[in-house]
């Protein structure tokens, strides 16, 4: 975000100081006492129990890139993995062994064997059943709940079938592929009485919770009037994380030959690592035997004339409109969710503030016609400020960009208020500045009216011992994956209308409306890319949707 190391240090110290002062009672009382009992930070911050007694018996549906992250993040004290379902050998391997392609991949996707201490895959398979089609997993009466990390077009189908089969559901974001699907999911949750949560994990980030407090309760940056968010990546043709190699690609065969030679030449201390890497690559090559067409994937001729096989649609599902939702669904939805949380904090607790308008443009200027989704999107949103009802000019503008081809600035959010600026960087750090000054060390003092204010001269009274806002040098701060699953499991084990996931259907629907209506604005061909949001789109019980399709729970794909 264009800050020198010294400016970053100043900003982090400013933020830590502000949290220590404005949340002093909470940090020195509730948090400190909770940590002393051994409770996890998430349960203390977000108000759920330190354990559930009997862990929720869970099946993981979809164990690819994101599913394996969730497997690595789940806490066995709250959730017990008893089954997985995936049609790709590559994903099944990673579910058990983790992603052994690199140390960093192994860190974020450690696998079930590491999580539970099982020595071999045979031992693990005695504890965890393996299914291909997810419908087979749903028929397992021992499973109480499922975590869904399938391609986007399958979220509604799998979630609705799961709830009708008596399972509670946590599905990855985006909630659904269309607004009518999201409403169908929400209605099914109400009809079945099953808890449905969606994985917008910033709702469970301690880092973001402290930022929300700074913006809302403490009001340290004054009246928020502008938010700038971005997710910039260096993806380029030939180096694209959304276009992984197919199992038939020559590059994988060459890599296999190279890795086998490396294994033969390994020192005794390296044999285990390279044996696992070769085994993972063998599993990836085995994906060539998957009959993807039997699971609904289709062939198509691309604009560049090349054929796309059903297997390619499965493996590269993020590239296609039928199976994915592009940059706004995969990346933008997270940050617009965060922007909505910040703006809602300005309006007061318990209020979910919705945008008024969106204006958007997008293009595919980096990649060739080997995909359907844009590689650059730019969106501008108008939100109502707290006093909008009295003065329609009072608005908060959110600008968002997601681009490929240049990763400068990475991803994060900049929240600008009349008194200060808050910068959130890659879910790892938060920095606070007074006004636009990036070099000034600030403290927090009390105004004559008793409100907390940023001060560059007065002492803020020092900090308390517990300020869990950023990495301590041992591990990065939690991104919220663990906490969202813990709370979901706790809500299931403690049934009460008051015990609801923070990203329940009504909240997840709003996030989906913002992302998917932005996609509509990106595709408008009338030269008027602005869309006014309608209140009915955000109402689960309303049949009005932006795509003009009424919700219908009798669809063929929902039948078991």
Residue 274 and residue 232 in one domain: no
What pLDDT shows up at residue 448? 73
Q: How far, in Å, CA of 504 to CA of 488, rounded?
A: 10
Residue 334 and residue 455 in one domain: yes
Residue 212 lies in a domain: yes
Residue 339 and residue 430 in one domain: yes
Residue 293 and residue 409 in one domain: no
HEC per residue, 360-390: EEEECCCCCCCCCCCCEEEEEEEEECCCCCC
Residue 375 and residue 470 in one domain: yes
* pLDDT at residue 463 greater than cutoff 60: no
* pLDDT at residue 217 greater than cutoff 80: yes
Strands laid side by side in the 129-131 sheet: 129-131, 79-85, 56-61, 145-148, 168-172, 196-199
Domain boundary among 267, 295, 315: 315
- Any idea what the Cα angle at residue 407 is, between residues 470 and 436, rounded to 5°? 55
What pLDDT shows up at residue 455? 85
Characterize the bridge pairing of strands 411-417 and 420-425.
Answer: antiparallel
Residue 75 and residue 209 in one domain: no
* pLDDT at residue 393 greater than cutoff 90: yes
Q: Work out the percent of the chain whose per-residue pLDDT is above 90.
A: 83
Residue 423 lies in a domain: yes
What pLDDT shows up at residue 65? 97
Residue 527 and residue 391 in one domain: yes
What pLDDT shows up at residue 476? 74
Residue 94 and residue 226 in one domain: no
Mean predicted confidence (pLDDT) in 407-417: 96
Q: Which of 323, 337, 339, 330 is nearest to 402 (CA)?
A: 330
The CATH number for 523's domain is: 3.30.360.10
pTM score, whole prediction: 0.94
Residue 548 lies in a domain: no
- Any idea what the Cα angle at residue 231 is, between residues 479 and 197, rounded to 5°? 40
pLDDT tens digits, 76-104: 999 999 999 999 999 999 999 999 999 99
The CATH number for 83's domain is: 3.40.50.720
Mean predicted confidence (pLDDT) in 383-399: 97
What pLDDT shows up at residue 471? 37
* pLDDT at residue 457 greater than cutoff 90: no
Residue 272 and residue 353 in one domain: no
Domain boundary among 284, 315, 346: 315
Question: Model confidence at 342, in pLDDT bands (50, 70, 90)?
Answer: very high
Domain boundary among 143, 176, 201: 201
* pLDDT at residue 239 greater than cutoff 50: yes
pLDDT tens digits, 296-327: 999 999 888 889 999 999 999 999 999 999 99
Residue 557 lies in a domain: no
What pLDDT shows up at residue 472? 39
Residue 513 near residue 547, CB atoms below 8 Å:
no
Residue 166 and residue 216 in one domain: no
Q: How far, in Å, CA of 357 to CA of 533, rounded?
A: 6
Q: Say what the alpha-carbon torsion angle 73, 77, 79, 84 is, to the nearest 10 degrees.
A: 70
What pLDDT shows up at residue 450? 72
Residue 72 near residue 108, CB atoms below 8 Å:
yes
Residue 213 and residue 262 in one domain: no
HEC per residue, 237-281: CCECCCCCCCCCCHHHHHHHHHHHHHHHCCCHHHHHHHHHHHHHH
* pLDDT at residue 467 greater than cutoff 50: no
Q: What is the largest distance, in Å, between two alpha-carbon atoms of the chain? A: 75
pLDDT tens digits, 4-15: 999 999 999 999
Residue 38 lies in a domain: no
pLDDT tens digits, 430-449: 999 998 889 899 989 877 77
What pLDDT shows up at residue 30? 72
Three-state DSSP at 88 gives coil
Give residue 71's domain range.
56-201
- According to DSSP, the residues that pair with 379 across neighbouring strands are 360, 400
pLDDT tens digits, 501-534: 999 999 999 999 999 999 999 998 677 889 999 9
What pLDDT shows up at residue 394? 97
Question: Model confidence at 211, in pLDDT bands (50, 70, 90)?
Answer: very high
Residue 334 lies in a domain: yes
Q: Please list, in sequence order, all residues whose beta carbon lies within 8 angstroms of the beta carbon of residue 234, skipping any fewer than 6 positions away.
A: 404, 405, 406, 407
Residue 406 and residue 417 in one domain: yes
Q: How far, in Å, CA of 279 to CA of 111, rounded?
A: 14
Mean predicted confidence (pLDDT) in 231-244: 95
Range ranked top by mean pLDDT from 23-32, 159-168, 304-313, 471-480: 159-168
Question: Model confidence at 460, in pLDDT bands (50, 70, 90)?
Answer: very low
Q: How far, in Å, CA of 460 to CA of 454, rounded?
A: 9
Among 31-35, 197-201, 210-214, 259-263, the range scoring the smallest mean pLDDT is 31-35
- Give me the number of domains the chain comprises: 3
Among 18-32, 378-392, 488-502, the range scoring the smallest mean pLDDT is 18-32
* pLDDT at residue 202 greater than cutoff 60: yes
Residue 560 lies in a domain: no
Residue 71 lies in a domain: yes
């Amino acid at each position: 975000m264009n800050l020198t190391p010294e400016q970053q240090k100043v900003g982090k110290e400013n933020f830590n100081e502000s949290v220590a002062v404005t949340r002093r009672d909470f940090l020195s009382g509730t948090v400190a006492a909770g940590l002393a009992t051994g409770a996890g930070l998430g349960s203390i911050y977000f108000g759920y129990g330190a354990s559930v007694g009997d862990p929720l018996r869970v099946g993981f549906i979809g164990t690819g890139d994101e599913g394996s992250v969730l497997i690595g993040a789940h806490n066995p004290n709250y959730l017990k993995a008893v089954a997985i379902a995936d049609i790709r050998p590559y994903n099944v391997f990673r579910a058990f062994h983790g992603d052994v392609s690199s140390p960093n991949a192994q860190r974020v996707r450690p696998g079930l064997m590491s999580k539970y201490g099982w020595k071999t895959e045979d031992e693990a398979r005695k504890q965890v059943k393996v299914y291909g089609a997810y419908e087979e997993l749903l028929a397992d009466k021992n499973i109480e709940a499922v975590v869904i990390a399938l391609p986007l077009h399958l979220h509604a189908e799998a979630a609705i079938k799961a709830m009708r089969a008596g399972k509670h559901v946590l599905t990855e974001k985006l909630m659904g592929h269309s607004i009518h699907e999201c409403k169908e999911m929400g209605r099914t949750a109400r009809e079945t009485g099953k808890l449905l949560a969606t994985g917008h994990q910033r709702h469970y980030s301690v880092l973001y919770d402290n930022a929300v407090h700074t913006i809302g309760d403490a009001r340290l940056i004054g009246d928020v009037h502008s938010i700038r968010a971005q997710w910039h990546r260096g993806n380029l043709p030939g180096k694209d994380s959304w276009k992984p190699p197919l199992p038939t690609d020559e590059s994988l065969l060459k890599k296999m030959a190279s890795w086998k030679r490396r294994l033969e030449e390994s020192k005794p201390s390296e044999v285990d690592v390279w044996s696992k890497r070769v085994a993972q690559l063998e599993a990836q090559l085995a994906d060539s035997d998957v009959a993807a067409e039997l699971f609904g994937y289709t062939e198509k001729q691309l604009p560049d004339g090349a054929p796309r096989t059903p297997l390619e649609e499965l493996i590269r599902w993020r590239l296609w409109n039928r199976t994915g939702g592009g940059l706004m669904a995969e990346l933008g939805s997270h940050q617009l969710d965060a922007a909505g949380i910040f703006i809602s904090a300005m309006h007061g607790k318990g209020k979910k503030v919705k945008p008024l308008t969106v204006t958007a443009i997008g293009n595919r200027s980096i990649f060739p016609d080997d995909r359907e989704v844009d590689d650059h999107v730019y969106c501008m949103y108008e939100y109502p400020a707290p006093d909008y009802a009295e003065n329609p000019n009072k608005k908060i503008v959110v600008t968002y960009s997601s681009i490929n081809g240049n990763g400068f600035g990475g991803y994060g959010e900049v929240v600008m208020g009349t008194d200060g600026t808050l910068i959130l960087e890659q879910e790892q750090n938060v920095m606070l500045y007074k006004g636009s000054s990036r070099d000034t060390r600030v403290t927090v003092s009390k105004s004559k009216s008793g409100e907390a204010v940023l001060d560059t001269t007065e002492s803020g009274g020092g900090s308390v011992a517990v300020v869990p806002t950023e990495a301590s040098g041992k591990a990065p701060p939690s991104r919220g994956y663990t906490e969202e699953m813990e709370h979901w499991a706790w809500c299931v084990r403690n049934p009460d209308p008051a015990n609801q996931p923070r990203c329940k259907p009504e909240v997840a629907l709003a996030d989906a409306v913002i992302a998917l209506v932005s996609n509509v604005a990106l595709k408008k061909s009338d030269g008027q890319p602005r869309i006014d949001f309608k209140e009915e789109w955000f109402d689960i019980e309303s049949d009005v949707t932006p795509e003009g399709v009424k919700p219908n729970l009798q669809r063929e794909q929902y039948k078991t």
